[in-house]
Amino acid sequence: MSEFTPTWKQPSHPEMLQVLKGAPYAASARSLVALPAGALFSKITTAIPAPKKTYTSVQSGPGLNIELCSDLVYCNHSCSPSLEFDMSKFEVRVARNRPLSVGDELTFFYPSTEWDMVQPFHCNCESQACLGLIAGSRDLDATFLSRCWLNPHIMELLAGKKKALPIESQGEISVKA
């Protein structure tokens, strides 16, 4: 699989983020603004439906994926993210638990949007909460996920998973909205 080539005019968010490109598959985004926790970072306005799930697509509902078609695609994963991608509102917000500073890496928790991933990977976010293998929320511990902000479609899929478990296996799945 080759690295993708942007099809949109770059930079797409020149006042908000800077894209840093390095070796193939090693790009990232840094904040050019300081915002309080929970603040709106950007609306997602250039997305198009993805005909199939790819390593650059974002899940927007059960069985639905989009391509962002903007520099937001350079926001990498972190187990302690700086952003939340709210696919029910097509918004990107600053994480609820911390403010965003100029120069911060722009990251989001991939399992907050992804049930399963086409290309799982080993995380190197260096967070104390680092999960190691990132493959989506389907196989993550419900107790861990209950402490994370998750999109409504992920909460629905988790609830369906719990219903499918044998009675003796059903633990409490309590996920924050």
Residue 8 lies in a domain: no
Residue 5 lies in a domain: no
**What's residue 158's pLDDT?**
92
**What's residue 1's pLDDT?**
55
- Tokens 């994963």 correspond to 77
Q: How far apart are CA 177 and CA 175, in angstroms?
A: 6
Contact yes or no for 33/102 (Cβ under 8 A):
yes
Q: Output the domain CATH number for residue 114.
A: 2.170.270.10
Which residues constitute the domain of residue 50?
17-169
Residue 4 lies in a domain: no
Residue 10 lies in a domain: no
**What's residue 169's pLDDT?**
41
Residue 6 lies in a domain: no
CB atoms within 10 A of CB 143: 11
* Bridge partners of residue 122, in order along the sequence: 133
Contact yes or no for 157/112 (Cβ under 8 A):
no
Q: Which tokens go with 18? A: 């800077």
Q: How far apart are CA 45 and CA 68, in angstroms?
A: 8
Q: Is 145 helix (H, G, I), strand (E, B) or coil?
A: helix
Q: How far apart are CA 133 and CA 124, in angstroms?
A: 9
Q: How far apart are CA 20 and CA 108, in angstroms?
A: 17
Nearest to 80 by CA among 112, 127, 44, 28: 127
Residue 37 lies in a domain: yes
Residue 174 lies in a domain: no
**What's residue 88's pLDDT?**
97
**What's residue 163's pLDDT?**
67
**What's residue 168's pLDDT?**
44
The number of domains in the chain is: 1
**What's residue 22's pLDDT?**
81
Residue 150 lies in a domain: yes
Q: What is the pLDDT along the chain (177 residues), one digit of tens a residue?
A: 567 788 899 899 999 999 999 877 789 999 999 999 999 999 999 999 999 999 999 999 999 999 999 999 999 999 999 999 999 999 999 999 999 999 999 999 999 999 999 999 999 888 888 999 999 999 898 888 989 999 999 999 999 887 655 544 444 433 333
Question: Can you give the C-alpha Rg of the chain in angstroms?
Answer: 16
